Amino acid sequence: MAKIIDGKLVSASIRASVADEVKALRENGICPTLAVILVGDDPASAVYVRNKQKACIETGIEPIQITLPKETTESELLSKIDELNRDSKIHGILVQLPLPEHISEEKVISKINPEKDVDAFTHESVGRIVEGKYSFLPCTPAGIMKLLEYYEIDVAGKECVVIGRSNIVGKPMALLLLNASGTVTVCHSKTKNLSEVTKRADILIVAVGKAKFVTADMVKEGAVVVDVGINRMPDGKLAGDVDFDSVSSVASLLTPVPGGVGPMTIAMLMCNTVFAAKRAHNNKKA
């Protein structure tokens, strides 16, 4: 049976050290502040945003919650971001995705000042990730790297397979694994003989958005399997992209859903916000 990778435990220890850092910053008059913008009423997004807000409060970060109606125009949203860009009290800006269809995500992300880009979604942040010269770490992939580190899984030289090529997870995940000297393959909907590829993986990262997509026959004996998916099942329960029950009989280590990657994403967001606050303060001094 696979050992469980406990994202709750690891994320709690990261949040505790963020809280210590925030306390010290506040004693020096710096109050790390994160603005989170939610447009529309997507219920899943509302839950994610609430969890981000809770983590801010727990770590002492000041959350600024901006909720806009789904009819908000693109130019209204861009003006709001502009206002937050110019506000020196705001250190991080996060626009929850997806946005309503009439708003261009690319335009909105490009508007965020890269110095406040705590999601690491702007062209500047992505370029830095490609070069391995991080300022902000992409939250979900960075959270996964922390889990691998915590469980002493050395990526160097390992066969790493990522299923999914999104800009948020798949692509930056592949880059972080590559920067850690893994041998990386990215699979997607057009990949032929998917299970032949996934069976090569020592480390398998699954981010496809389809419940229980990866089954035991797709996994090598002893592989480390990381499940990024969060899918709501007809019975209301959450399930990952990995068929947990069958895969746990072949994997050596496996993340659960919930309680695996999800809490790590939020913990890394808190780290990025503190980093942004410290850098803004140091730039002011210089």
Query: Is residue 245 helix, strand or coil?
Result: helix
Site string for ligand GUN, 44-83 (x = CB under 6 A): ----------------------------------------
Sort residue 212 into left (φ over 0), alpha (ψ -120 to 50) or beta.
left
Task: Give me the least distance between CB of 119 and ligand GUN, in Å please.
Answer: 5
239 DSSP β-pair partners? 231
Catalytic residue, chosen from 96, 146, 171, 243, is: 96
Closest residue (Cβ) to ligand GUN? 97
- Choose which of 21, 115, 119, 241 interacts with ligand GUN (CB under 6 A): 119
- 95 makes contact with ligand GUN (CB under 6 A): yes
Find the part of the chain contacting ligand GUN (CB under 6 A) among 27-35, 93-101, 197-205, 255-263: 93-101
Task: Give me the least distance between CB of 36 and ligand GUN, in Å please.
Answer: 8
Task: Give me the least distance between CB of 139 and ligand GUN, in Å please.
Answer: 5
**Sheet of 33-39, strand order:** 62-68, 33-39, 92-95
- Choose which of 14, 139, 270, 277 interacts with ligand GUN (CB under 6 A): 139
Q: Please count the other Cβ atoms lying within 10 Å of the Cβ belonging to residue 166.
A: 15
- 125 makes contact with ligand GUN (CB under 6 A): no
* Cβ-contact 218, 194 below 8 angstroms: yes
Determine the Cα angle at 237 with ends 232 and 241, to 5°: 55
Q: Amino acid identity of 165?
A: R
96 a catalytic residue: yes
CA–CA gap between residue 133 and residue 131 (Å, rounded): 5
Rank residues 30 and 78 by Cβ distance to ligand GUN and give the closer one: 78
- 94 makes contact with ligand GUN (CB under 6 A): yes
CA–CA gap between residue 186 and residue 198 (Å, rounded): 10
- 97 makes contact with ligand GUN (CB under 6 A): yes
Strands, DSSP E only, in the chain? 3-4, 33-39, 62-68, 92-95, 159-163, 183-187, 203-206, 224-227, 231-232, 238-239, 253-254
- 203 makes contact with ligand GUN (CB under 6 A): no
Q: Which helix (H) or strand (E) holds 223?
A: none
The residues carrying an active-site annotation are: 52, 96, 119
Q: Give contact residues for ligand GUN (rule: CB under 6 A).
A: 94-97, 119, 139-140, 168, 265
